[in-house]
A and B are shown apart, each in its own frame.
Chain A
Amino acid sequence: MRVLAIDTALGACSACVVERGAAEAIASETIYMERGHAEELVPLIDRVIARVDTRFEGIDRVVVTIGPGSFTGLRIGLSAARAIALGLEVPVVGVSTLSALIAPALTTEAGRVIAAAIDARHGNVYVQAVAPGGRPLMAPRVATIRDAVRALGSGGISLVGPAAPVVASDAFALGLDARVVDAAPAPDIAWVARLGIAADPADAPARPLYLRPADAKPQDNGRLPRQ
């Protein structure tokens, strides 16, 4: 199986084409950026595809990060991925940013809790953790940094993700054995592709994972009383 993977949910605009089981991507490009994903993404996919002999032909699946992350960013990736899948008439699967951040650490951080953290503003993080052996410890959620640290237990903690350093400093303050494994601004796109290859399309819909409701309040002010 060959997949096209896309990520614009965090601090990068990335795409790659990966063949199942292959160590290296056939083509891959990542540009780290805070904003501007919308203008960058499709031309970037165009460049990546141009480096694949058969271009879109032979792509069996599209993989995309669904968040948590920037609401606008994850929608850009999802819009592109779902449109490409529609055009190619192939399935599209979603991979969470937190899972993609954790995945590479699963082999290197044996025996420790692995937690991925992404800044969610105002002292909050999007966080997910797995216990030693890969068993789920904390499902993806938004939490204060303090609550996140408390939920990670008292054993060794390996932290990944753009907010790993801030979580680590809180953990140090509590005297925990915490270390930052990787604080890259976005997941490795090749790992997004691998998780997408492993996913079952029925269980991994390409739908946004915001973890937060839209910021909106019902407006009733200004309404005059009626009989």
Chain B
Amino acid sequence: MSFAHSPTVLGIETTCDETAAAVVTRDEEGRGRILANEVLSQIAQHAAYGGVVPEIAARAHVESLDLLVARALDRAGIKLRDVDAVAVAAGPGLIGGVMVGLTAAKALALVAGKPLIAVNHLEAHALTARMTDRIAFPYLLLLVSGGHTQLLAVRGVGDFVRLGTTIDDAIGEAFDKTAKMLGLPYPGGPHVEKEAAQGDPARFDLPRPMLARQKPDFSLSGLKTAVRLEAEKLVPLSHTDVADLCAGFQAAIVDVVVDRTRTALRTFRPAAGQAPTALVVAGGVAANEGIRRGLRRLAAEAGLKLVAPPHELCADNGAMIAWAGLERLSLGMIDDLTVAARARWPLDRLAEPSPTGKA
């Protein structure tokens, strides 16, 4: 392995409904620099189905991944042989799509004669804050997306302690299901947020599940049901009804997120051996401004810095995979070409399996 002071890694992401490729380099001071970050969303192809269809996702990935890799290398102004490693999300995710990305990455690594780095997609979300803000370990991570809702103590690369998780739906899933019930387009998160901004959060008395529980776990399905029960009393729904239901739903989510994260801050020190250096939020749902505001308040209250990556780095992307690859490469953590795609891949190997697999 021969790389100069600025290692450069190609990152590939195909675990869900974004096909992505990026080139990221790390300078002498350890700062990440994104040279290219190409993302092709498949949202339009899944919208009619009200959610991501695995076979449609896999079909879309194989049609466009190589084009995105070529474009990323092009934008970065480099050739494949110039990268120091090829990093790829090897899971967790929709296995058909993961296999497309992983197989392509292995082939690229083989042709270029460079190491392959199999990255855990969740770890990539978790480490993004180090690329953007150079924060030190350990930190508290709230990972919130369509498939995941977890609070983690991030102690190091590959070293996580799961403090809490959802016992049913992921937060992003709750947003999507609520949106669907209210007739809003897929994916639901941004649409619920937009409606919520015009609504009255106090009109409906919605529950805050798990509030004040000792362990920072989440439960979202009861909230979703409560929204449905309120909505069913009002059908046909007016625009105001929809806006108020969204506002009430989002306010409840924010309260739950802030309470659960506050609880996690209390359990952090025993798990990590020291206080967190920062509170980090990552994952697609981290783009929600209501949640960001709530966490900003909490961080201020706890005397912590809140790190929330820019929106394009919260959603699935290749840059986070490339960065995780850089982190692992610098520690000599590389993989061989036999590595298998993983539908499930918990960050904390010692934690109980999550009840739904959605952690």
Of A40-48, A134-142, A193-201, the one with at least 4 CB within 8 A of chain B: A40-48
Most chain A C-beta atoms within 10 Å of own C-beta, residue among B96, B103, B340: B103
CB distance from A79 to the nearest CB of B (A): 4
CB of A25 closer than 8 Å to a CB of B:
no
Cβ contact within 8 Å between B180 and A222: yes
Whole-angstrom distance between the alpha carbons of A14 and B271 in the complex? 48
Given contacts A45-B110, A83-B111, A215-B55, contact A39 B235 (CB under 8 A): no
* B80 nearest CB neighbor, chain A only: A87
Cβ contact within 8 Å between A224 and B99: no
Given contacts A224-B232, A225-B235, contact A72 B99 (CB under 8 A): yes
CB of B58 closer than 8 Å to a CB of A:
yes
Measured between beta carbons, the chain A residues less than 8 angstroms from B134 are none
Cβ contact within 8 Å between B181 and A223: yes
CB of B69 closer than 8 Å to a CB of A:
yes
Cβ contact within 8 Å between A218 and B49: yes
Measured between beta carbons, the chain A residues less than 8 angstroms from B340 are 38-39
Interface residue from A56, A79, A85, A87 paired with B100 (Cβ < 8 Å):
A79
Cβ contact within 8 Å between A42 and B107: yes
Cβ contact within 8 Å between A216 and B53: yes
CB of A118 closer than 8 Å to a CB of B:
no
* B50 nearest CB neighbor, chain A only: A219
Given contacts A41-B103, A79-B103, A216-B56, contact A224 B231 (CB under 8 A): yes
Measured between beta carbons, the chain B residues less than 8 angstroms from A218 are 48-50
Most chain B C-beta atoms within 10 Å of own C-beta, residue among A41, A208, A214: A214
Cβ contact within 8 Å between B181 and A75: no
Of B147-155, B205-213, B236-244, the one with at least 4 CB within 8 A of chain A: B236-244
Chain B contact residues, majority secondary structure: helix
Cβ contact within 8 Å between A72 and B96: yes
Interface residues on A, range: 35 or more
Of B60-68, B120-128, B326-334, the one with at least 4 CB within 8 A of chain A: B60-68
Whole-angstrom distance between the alpha carbons of A78 and B61 in the complex? 11
Chain A contact residues, majority secondary structure: helix
Interface residue from A39, A83, A217 paired with B104 (Cβ < 8 Å):
A83
Cβ contact within 8 Å between B180 and A223: yes
Interface residue from A39, A45, A75, A222 paired with B107 (Cβ < 8 Å):
A45
Cβ contact within 8 Å between B55 and A84: no
* B112 nearest CB neighbor, chain A only: A87
Cβ contact within 8 Å between B237 and A86: no
CB distance from A42 to the nearest CB of B (A): 4
CB distance from A48 to the nearest CB of B (A): 11
CB of A191 closer than 8 Å to a CB of B:
no
Measured between beta carbons, the chain B residues less than 8 angstroms from A43 are 337-338
Most chain A C-beta atoms within 10 Å of own C-beta, residue among B55, B80, B107: B107
Given contacts A88-B111, A219-B51, contact A75 B99 (CB under 8 A): yes
Cβ contact within 8 Å between B55 and A214: yes
Interface set, chain A 176-227, CB cutoff 8 A to B: 207-208, 210, 214-220, 222-227
CB distance from A34 to the nearest CB of B (A): 16
Given contacts A71-B58, A76-B99, contact A226 B337 (CB under 8 A): no
Cβ contact within 8 Å between B237 and A72: no
CB of A106 closer than 8 Å to a CB of B:
no
Whole-angstrom distance between the alpha carbons of A188 and B147 in the complex? 42
CB of A82 closer than 8 Å to a CB of B:
yes
Measured between beta carbons, the chain B residues less than 8 angstroms from A225 are 235-237
* A81 nearest CB neighbor, chain B only: B107
Interface residue from B59, B108, B183, B341 paired with A214 (Cβ < 8 Å):
B59
Interface residue from A41, A45, A75 paired with B62 (Cβ < 8 Å):
A75
Cβ contact within 8 Å between A224 and B183: yes
Whole-angstrom distance between the alpha carbons of A144 and B285 in the complex? 47
CB of A105 closer than 8 Å to a CB of B:
no
Measured between beta carbons, the chain B residues less than 8 angstroms from A220 are 50
Interface set, chain B 54-105, CB cutoff 8 A to A: 55-56, 58-59, 62-63, 65-66, 69-70, 80, 96, 99-105
Q: List 15 A-B contacts (CB under 8 A).
A: A46-B110, A49-B110, A71-B55, A71-B96, A78-B62, A79-B101, A83-B103, A83-B111, A84-B110, A208-B59, A214-B53, A224-B181, A224-B236, A226-B242, A227-B238
6 closest cross-chain pairs (CB), A and B: A87-B111, A83-B107, A42-B106, A214-B55, A219-B50, A83-B104
